[in-house]
Structure 1
């Protein structure tokens, strides 16, 4: 798990100082790779102990260990990009994401999600752009398993609120889980499951079920690989649904 993924995993636990440090890192991850503890703490306007607590909360013993991991991640991405071998860079990222996803999407975890989904008589799914493909794929595969599933466009979410029941499930596929789709999703009557990579903290705590998939770049919303994981997740998940 790279440093950016670790931060997202612990984001809900951040203090005010942690959030300041996080925001600075996400603005320019490569920009801090040369900074010492004192320099980066001063840039953030926090104390060195606050910075140390931040990295320890991510699982690192020292800031230097966090920075070393960040340097490794940035160097790998830069090296392949500078070679002019964008296709190799793409595959390298995909392989790394698949490795991260394999560690997360264990049989036990998928079985747990399958049992959760199995309690809902109707499942609706939505997404924006390429992320919507996962919703459409879910509809196709669920019907093969003789279960009700319907992919809906983001524009139709307001209408969905009129006839969705409290025992229905709405699955949202969104890399960032931001206002552009979550505001409408949370107005529906049923339960909401958010499948995302970097959830907006304003909405992550409001959903009934959160599935956090790995990502590599500082801006997964602009990363062409991120939505690919949604399809992989759906393909795996439907195999763990309990029998009808």
Structure 2
């Protein structure tokens, strides 16, 4: 069912607050796609919690997924009312903005600071990524050079496999992966951990891989908002890189002594 069919399918079971939300969405779908959950709560005289419950009631994991599906459906031109138009650019940017804001809810700044200190004290830093996340690995490597940190980005599967045995205690290996589905990553962490290498996994998926690493960062996944999602998690990873970079810059500026562990 598309979002509008779901809205109507459950309408006989709505509470009073849910009815208010339903009525507003039906009358203002394009506004819902652009506005935040706070704005919707204000417009409907309800609450964020009520909107999240409403979204789950009609079959979504939360408001973010409902908003995404509603936007995708409108953008696709499948609306029955073809005369209604919307600003596609504002819709897509608002979706990304919503997920970027979620990063604050996902990360623990104390953990980020530990990872930053780890990188600053490392003998060597290897940044690993494959396919699309290879761009995240390269981006982090480029950004590190801006603040005086030397690191190597590895995106070739053969090189990633060959480097394992040469890594030793004092080295740090950072893995960027959106879904952590590649079994080679599990083998990599198992192999380098035996040599005393500290591993960090940065991912958008809650997976067993994060339990094998010494440190991990779990970020929101805009791709997982829908099984048919056409949006990309690289934006989320790139924003996180800037957060981690800010902590490293703090070290470089002398607020931390990066020569000491």
Q: Normalising by structure 1, what TM-score?
A: 0.64
2:186 is aligned to 183
Total equivalences in the alignment = 191
1:173 is aligned to 176
RMSD of equivalent CA atoms: 3.5
Per mean C-alpha deviation after superposition, the further-off stretch among 139-148 and 92-101 is 139-148
Q: 2:164 aligns with which of 158, 161, 186?
A: 161
2:93 is aligned to 91
Of structures 1 and 2, the larger Rg is shown by: 2
1:81 correspondence with 2:81 = no
Give the distance between the partners of 1:122 and 1:231, measured in 2 at CA.
22
Q: 2:202 aligns with which of 174, 180, 195?
A: 195
- Unpaired segments ≥5 residues, structure 2: 11-48, 76-86, 253-257
Q: How does 1:116-135 map to 2 (within 5 A)?
A: 116-135=118-137
Structure 1 residues 231 and 80 mapped into 2: Cα distance closer, same or farther (>3 Å)? same
Structure 1 consecutive aligned stretches of length 4 or more whose deviation exceeds 3 Å: 32-35, 68-75, 85-89, 102-110, 218-224
Structure 1 residues 125 and 223 mapped into 2: Cα distance closer, same or farther (>3 Å)? farther
Q: Normalising by structure 2, what TM-score?
A: 0.60
1:67 correspondence with 2:74 = no
- Unpaired segments ≥5 residues, structure 1: 1-27, 36-59
Structure 1 residues 72 and 214 mapped into 2: Cα distance closer, same or farther (>3 Å)? closer
1:234 correspondence with 2:225 = no
CA contact (8 A) 2:69 2:226 kept: no
CA contact (8 A) 2:178 2:204 kept: yes
